[in-house]
Amino acid sequence: MNRYLKLVNFEVNRFLKLYLVLLGITILSQIIGVIVQSRAYLNRANELMYKDLMTKDQFIEQYGNISFYNFTQAAWFLLPIMLCVVVLIIYVFFIWYRDWLGKNTFSYRLLMLPTARITIFFAKATTILLFVLGLVALQLVLLPVESQVLQWVVPSEFRTDLSIYEITNLHNLNVLLPSFFIEFVLYYAGGMLAVCIVFTAILFERSFRIKGIIYGVLYCVGSLLIFFAPLFVNGFILRNYFYPIELFFLELVAGLLVLACAIWIGNFLLKNKIRV
């Protein structure tokens, strides 16, 4: 356990500077975006009310009140989230391949550590999970702050206030921040399952090089087929035979099976086939 925690700490520190940059970009972009969007709305209201002699009620009737929903549709809000997602997806691959970069590869020393090699697999997966949860936590902290900024900038008669619960249920946020804890666990557990599948596919490539790419692709396809097998069977063969709760548990079993296979195959490759 001690070596596992040290490996997690080591992996976190390797990406920490870039990760902090991502957090900074997200904070600045979203807070500045709230102010810019709010000011743009008020400027339009002032222009129409004072230059075109439109009354306040007429403006609100035609253009509506501003709410946090308007902000969640803006690039100021969406682009930093998309940037973080893309960078983390790239890092799922880079967290392994950086060990093989350069002439004096770090992979040899990493794999020669006096610990089970599967610990490296778990440490890298944990690192990705921590980074993802960190970004989710940041967004949860930012939402009430940004909502308060909107209230400071826009007078109450021009805005519609939303609670944090209502904000997290908006279209662009209900996947990132599910309303119910069980949904949160299932969404992010599914994401980590995908990460483990990709990790094992990378180990196929590192073990067999060119052939490993083919093996990795076939492995990913096979994993997806196993995971979605209950849905395919229920939909196309049994014609919706199972109740939703039964289908849920079948999917849960399929997911656990795919996860167990990913870990077992990854452990086998790390112990017996990986090249340094």
Each residue's pLDDT tens digit, 130-159: 999 999 999 999 999 999 999 999 988 888
What does the pLDDT average to over 30-51? 90
The dihedral region occupied by 162, where left means phi > 0, alpha psi between -120 and 50, and beta the remainder, is beta
Q: What is d(CA 207, CA 184) in angstroms, rounded to the nearest whole number?
A: 35
Most confident by average pLDDT, 39-53, 60-74, 131-145: 131-145
pLDDT digits 0-9 by tens, 76-85 = 999 999 999 9
Most confident by average pLDDT, 60-74, 97-111, 140-154, 236-250: 140-154
Q: Which of 145-149, 193-197, 222-226, 236-240 has the lowest mean pLDDT?
A: 236-240
What does the pLDDT average to over 236-248? 87
The dihedral region occupied by 177, where left means phi > 0, alpha psi between -120 and 50, and beta the remainder, is beta
Question: What are the residue boundaries of the structural domains of the chain, listed by start?
Answer: 1-172, 180-276
Residue 179 near residue 78, CB atoms below 8 Å: no
Per-residue pLDDT, 247: 92
Q: Which two tokens stand for residue 192?
A: 């980590």
pTM for the structure as a whole: 0.90
Per-residue pLDDT, 133: 95
Q: What is d(CA 76, CA 97) in angstroms, rounded to the nearest whole number?
A: 32
pLDDT digits 0-9 by tens, 159-218 = 888 887 788 777 667 778 887 788 888 899 999 999 999 999 999 999 998 999 999 999
Under the banding of pLDDT at 50, 70 and 90, the label for residue 239 is confident
pLDDT digits 0-9 by tens, 87-98 = 999 999 999 988
What does the pLDDT average to over 50-71? 83
DSSP string, 133-158: HHHHHHHHHHHHHHHHHHHHHS-GGG
Per-residue pLDDT, 15: 93
Would the pLDDT of 221 be above 60? yes
DSSP string, 58-88: HHHHHH--EEHHHHHTSHHHHHHHHHHHHHH
Element of type H or E holding 40: helix 2-50
Per-residue pLDDT, 260: 97
Q: What is d(CA 8, CA 120) in angstroms, rounded to the nearest whole number?
A: 9
Per-residue pLDDT, 135: 94
pLDDT digits 0-9 by tens, 85-129 = 999 999 999 999 888 876 556 777 787 777 888 999 999 999 999
| Other beta carbons within 10 Å of 192 | 15
Q: Which two tokens stand for residue 202?
A: 């990378």
Q: What is d(CA 274, CA 276) in angstroms, rounded to the nearest whole number?
A: 7
159 secondary structure, DSSP code: E
